[in-house]
Amino acid sequence: MSTFDDAFDKLIGNEGGYSNNRQDPGGETMWGVTKRVALAWGYTGEMRDLPRETAKQIAKALYWDPLHCDAYDARVAFQIFDANYNGGHVVTWIQQASGTLADGKLGPKTIAAVKAVDPELFMMRFIAARLSYLTALPSWSLTMLPIVLALAQFAPQIAHWIGGSQSEQVVQKVVDIAQTVTGASTPEQALAAIQANPELAYRFQESIVESQVELQRIAAELEEARITADVETAKTNAADRASARQMSLTAHDHTPRNLAYLYTTGLFCVIGAHFWLLFARVPVDPVTFGVLGNVEGVLIAMVLGAKEFFLGSSSTADKQAAVITSFATDPDTHVTTRMLNNMSKPAQTALSALVDERKP
């Protein structure tokens, strides 16, 4: 029996026979084949009567061969086949699991990369990528969560992990462990086997304990990625502010400065009015005080933003660069002694060099 035959038999054990569940987006199906796919294949009979052999031909032609499943380890091939049969961004998941560029195109490089990755590691990554997609579907979430919570009776730490920020990865890891330990093709079958067999329950507990380090590593990597993203965002924002200051200074645009003065003056006026109303005991309804408080909050935010714009860590450097740039591009630029004294030594040296170049 070929790898495909084994995979198809295992898949059919999961898909079952005829169904017409309104909550299933696939609609009327037989052997996991939807009516739309069957019609496209040329089948015109009742879906209940779709021959198993026809479903097998469809599965091989549409879901096995296009992804070159014969080239992979049998376990990897089944995961890819099963995912493709049920729909999703399978090629992208393959590329994410194999560490190749996720461009959605399956070529020789991706196939070679899949074969080079340890099958167990590939399956863990692939299933995790698939989980991220499936958990966005309410029907899948409602089906899987009770199963994982039921498995938690054999490993209580599961319930704690599910409540954390990495719940999607935890759910998939638990399901994967349960199916690996039991050899079941579906999470439901894995749960039933563990509940019925104390030896399988013990093996499941052992596997969960062994996986704790891996789950902690995944959580740490994701947290590190989040922190890195936050740092890069902060750097980008700082660079944007510096660029805005540079443009304003070089172009001699006084609009930002004038707005800063306006915001500051407005803030002091509102605060003064607020205190005057309080100490003069002027009868004012609470709504008016609330409005004044909101206006103060807005103006404070604006003043702080202006302060960050003009007095940020790179403000002085930007002003120096603006003066040097202006002097280099405009012969009529006048540089005062005060401007020079406020510059750093390197900036003074750069500007002096430009002055020397202009001397006759």
Write out pLDDT tens, residues 187-213: 888 888 998 998 998 898 888 888 776
Residue type, 207: S
**Model's pTM, two decimal places?**
0.41
318-342 pLDDT, tens per residue? 455 555 555 554 555 555 665 556 5
- Say what the pLDDT of residue 1 is: 40
Q: Which amino acid is it at 234? A: A
Q: Please write the tens of the pLDDT for every residue from 55-101.
A: 999 999 999 999 999 999 999 999 899 888 877 789 999 999 999 88
Does residue 238 have a pLDDT over 70?
A: no
Q: What is the dihedral of CA 193, 48, 30, 26, to 10 degrees?
A: -120
pLDDT-wise least confident of 214-223, 268-277, 290-299: 214-223
User: CB–CB of 135/171 below 8 Å?
Assistant: yes
Model pLDDT, residue 314: 45
Q: Give the model's pLDDT for residue 226.
A: 53
Give mean pLDDT, residues 6-20. Answer: 75
pLDDT in the model for residue 85:
84
Q: Which residue has the higher pLDDT, 256 or 29?
A: 29
Q: What is the CA radius of gyration of the chain?
A: 33
Task: Indicate the burial class of 161 (C-beta count within 10 angstroms; 0-12, 13-18, 19 or more).
Answer: buried
For all residues of the chain together, what is the average pLDDT? Answer: 73
Sign for the CA dihedral angle at 303, 304, 306, 307 comes to: positive
Question: Which pLDDT score, from 0 to 100, does residue 237 have?
Answer: 57
Least confidently predicted of 19-23, 242-246, 247-251:
247-251
Percentage of the chain exceeding pLDDT 70: 55
- 299 pLDDT band, cuts 50/70/90, is confident
Higher pLDDT, 46 or 260: 46
Give the whole-angstrom CA distance, residue 285 versus residue 32. 68
Least confident of 52-56, 258-262, 291-295, 350-354: 350-354
Report long-range pairs for 329-332 (Cβ below 8 Å, ≥24 apart). 331/358
pLDDT at position 315: 45
